[in-house]
Copies of this chain bind each other. A is one copy, B any other.
């Protein structure tokens, strides 16, 4: 018998690294391959950016509380977010879906309504795809293609000592929205007659169910001649993402808890659940905000943009990656945040 290694023993990132460790690229047109938010391709001397995401019912979304039009919208957004995270502008998407006969044509129409709404808002074209049967559940695969001026794409590996660490918007809300929906689902499953109590939590629910991609930040960079030294989008939580940037840039960092932007609605709901709002920001995923580093000399250019927060700075690699709490304590960052999530 051949040996058997469990996938869980490698983890998701470990698995990708493992399977692609011998991947060599040969095409002169492949500028940047696996390992960033998107690939960069040079076709006839001009650069395009490509990214793809696979979303599976029961793994990435729960049909019990996910309206289909929002699901269609979000399926597009998560890919556009990866294109913006390369400092590029999305132009086209392809969409493949696998559906069981549990879904009606009307249900798929609702899904496509969301897809088209996102395409319209972000000015991208749906140009192709595949529609097939699935024997179980709903499967969605989106590939997004964008454009970037030659060599103006931003990777994860360019952060340098002294650079400022910045994030757009606020963090943790999508995760708190998820906790709210999971709570209500549990109540519904146990007592179907009880009406859901969504407590006017519009903001955190919207952040979970209908996120936006930060097109505005990329436009702001261009208008103000800002070229981030590194950038990625926050899909898995701030802590996990800043560690990716530190690892790929071979640097360390210091973040300040009191600078991490958390919306007041998120903060209040976290307290209600007896959770630390900072832990939610560090470890909760799906915010689709941008995490980026800039040179100190660019500080004046961003300081007046209320959608951008400076949350720390880049250090020597030997100093590691830490967060300084409100109480002044220093904790090492882990992919799961810090000790609040163990």
Contacts and interface: CB of A to CB of B under 8 A. Distances in A.
A259 interface: no
A117 interface: no
Complex copy number for this chain: 2
A6 B52 contact: no
Closest 8 A/B residue pairs (Cβ): A39-B127, A44-B46, A141-B141, A5-B105, A54-B96, A25-B125, A143-B143, A39-B128
A32 to B, nearest CB: 8
Contacts of A26: 123, 125
Contact of A7 (B53, B105, B130): B105
A226 to B, nearest CB: 23
B129 A52 contact: yes
A64 interface: no
A301 to B, nearest CB: 28
Nearest to A102: B7
Interface in A109-159: 109, 112, 116, 123-137, 139, 141, 143, 145, 147
Given A27-B125, A29-B92, A143-B94, A15 B54 contact: no
A50 B94 contact: yes
A23 interface: yes
Interface in A170-197: none
Contact of A131 (B5, B12, B94, B141): B12
A39 to B, nearest CB: 4
Interface of A: 2-10, 12, 15-16, 18-20, 22-23, 25-27, 29-30, 32-34, 38-39, 41, 43-46, 48, 50-54, 56, 58-60, 91-92, 94, 96-99, 101, 103-106, 108-109, 112, 116, 123-137, 139, 141, 143, 145, 147
A123 B4 contact: no
A266 to B, nearest CB: 26
Contacts of A43: 43, 46, 48, 91, 147
- Most B CB atoms within 10 A — which of A15, A60, A101, A125? A125
A113 to B, nearest CB: 10
Contacts of A139: 54, 56, 98, 139
Contact of A96 (B52, B58, B105, B129): B52
B127 A41 contact: yes
Given A33-B128, A58-B135, A59-B134, 13 more contacts: A15-B131, A16-B131, A19-B108, A19-B109, A22-B116, A25-B127, A33-B125, A33-B127, A38-B128, A43-B46, A52-B94, A59-B132, A59-B135
